[in-house]
Structure 1
Amino acid sequence: MMGIRRLLLSLGLVIFAAAFIGVVSASGPVTTGDAGRTVTVTDDFGESVTIRGVPQRIVSLAPSNTEILYAIGLENRIVGVTDYCDYPAAAADKPKVGGYSSISIEKVLAADPDLVFAAPGNTEDVINRLRTLGLTVVSLNPETIDDVLKDIELVGRATGQEQQAAACVEELQERI
């Protein structure tokens, strides 16, 4: 009788643990199966950037980059934006890392990002410094509508959101 009771208690604990883990993983960032993921992208300045895993902590150093991140569903992974990132409205509540051309390297480092999306206005010195400090930086510099669409796809590849990026590009192409 005591053995059956222990078995049932053990089984109940296993079921509870499985259900609890399922709830926790469903509410948090997606990390399953993608830890070994490695992708290399070429940014808009010809830099080859290797990204390991699926980035979970992203800093955006330009309002246009922030809009792309929101457009493909990455708002929960953004841990820092510039003072000028105010669209969509929810971006205004994200932690600030400085102005567009006056980025605080210290604040970027404090955000502990695993991926940074930069832009030319951030200055080459800041971008190079972030790379020197070991951060993974992808620079975007779209000059045409086609470049914007390509950058949305690039951000999708870099972040593991390829399907969301493709859907966003398709919707924009229909609107154009």
Structure 2
Amino acid sequence: MKPMRDILAAVALVGLALLSLPARAALQITDDRGDVVNFERSPQRIVSLLPSLAETVCELGQCQRLVGVDRYTNWPASVKPLPKVGGGLDPNIEQIVALRPDVVLMATSSRAGDRLRALGLKVVALEPKTHADVQRVMLKIGQLLEVPDAQKIWRAIDAAVMAAAQSLPASVRGTRVYFEVNPGPYAAGESSFIGETLTRLGTKNIVPASLGPFPKLNPEYIVRAAPDLIMVGQRSVDGMLQRPGWMSMRAMRAQHLCVFPADESDTLVRPGPRMAEGARLMVRCLADKAPGAKKAGVRP
């Protein structure tokens, strides 16, 4: 048997070895760029540079952690008084630093991440583009904020989208839809989260997945495709009326056209927790304006 002195010496050496190991982060997140970001604790001061990410933070019941948002974030109402730090592509770096955030949430497409990291800030880049992305981002932010029921919240959103689809009159299923995201024209293709919602509603998107999620189209393409129904935001509709050949489309002549005011348009084009509300807006549009609904006498 070893003498007690040797045993104590061995224990001391093990203790010194453990102390020399680098401290393990309490929380570790891998973002959509593949970057691993370590936190000693869940961040309490958050700056968000993408509306859908701020909305997700709030949907998870953590709005009080937001200390700054981009200029486009306007929901829920509690975020409106927060400091605006520019846009996702042109943020005010000095203002962000002054807010002393524990983390900055931004889109992967933002070019500001490297500058913020160089200044010592932690950055998590997340960019939802599909329904699966919205779920993944919600769970990722739930992990970051240590919200245990993020999966339950997502299931409620997904179930509400399904309920909206089931409420759609059978007479309008199969309607061929063109959804314009913004002037350009930029459309919501089949592979976008908007296109996925339209598919779940049983409609047909005139913009195939092969063109990408949000392709810029030649206006003549839409004229040739001759959609049954057009969905567009109020911000885009004026220029649409001036496009050559557009008034010859049956959808335009017969007013099979839904024009969404700014607040509804924001709901529709943001891939976040309000997807179910977006689905209900699309159902209302189809029930009110689709050719099949008119024939069946359906009311919204």
Q: Which residue of 2 aligns with 1:175?
A: 160
TM-score, length basis structure 1? 0.73
Q: Which residue of 1 aligns with 2:151?
A: 166
Task: Report runs of 4+ in structure 1 exceeding 3 Å deviation.
Answer: none
Contact 1:37 1:54 (8 Å CA) reproduced: no
Greater RCO structure (CA 8 Å; 6+ sep): 1
Q: Which residue of 2 aligns with 1:21?
A: none
Q: Which residue of 1 aligns with 2:264?
A: none
Q: Unmatched 5+ residue regions in structure 2?
A: 1-23, 162-300
Q: Structure 1's 128 and 162: CA in aligned 2 closer, same or farther, altered over 3 A?
A: farther
Task: Give the Cα–Cα distance (whole angstroms) in 1 for the partners of residues 125 and 106 of structure 2.
Answer: 4
Give CA deviations for 1:14-49 in whole Å, capped at 9, x if unaligned. xxxxxxxxxxxxxxxxxxxxxx97111111111111
Identity %: 36
Going by fraction, where is helix more abundant, 1 or 2?
A: 1
The equivalent position to 1:118 in structure 2, one of 81, 106, 112, is 106
**Local SS of the residue matching 1:59:** strand
Q: Which residue of 2 aligns with 1:132?
A: 118
Range that drifts further, 44-53 or 110-119:
44-53
Give CA deviations for 1:39-82 in whole Å, capped at 9, x if unaligned. 11111111111122121101101111111011001111100001
Range that drifts further, 85-94 or 73-82:
85-94
Aligned: 1:85 with 2:73: yes
How many residues end up aligned between the 2 structures?
138
TM-score, length basis structure 2? 0.44
**Local SS of the residue matching 1:80:** strand
Q: Which residue of 2 aligns with 1:152?
A: 138
Cα displacement (A) at 1:173: 2.2
Give CA deviations for 1:73-100 in whole Å, capped at 9, x if unaligned. 1111100001110011222211111122
Task: Give the Cα–Cα distance (whole angstroms) in 2 for the partners of residues 105 and 162 of structure 1.
Answer: 32
Contact 2:33 2:108 (8 Å CA) reproduced: no
Q: Unmatched 5+ residue regions in structure 1?
A: 1-35
**Local SS of the residue matching 1:153:** helix
**Local SS of the residue matching 1:106:** helix
Contact 2:67 2:83 (8 Å CA) reproduced: yes
Task: Give the Cα–Cα distance (whole angstroms) in 2 for the partners of residues 86 and 143 of structure 1.
Answer: 20
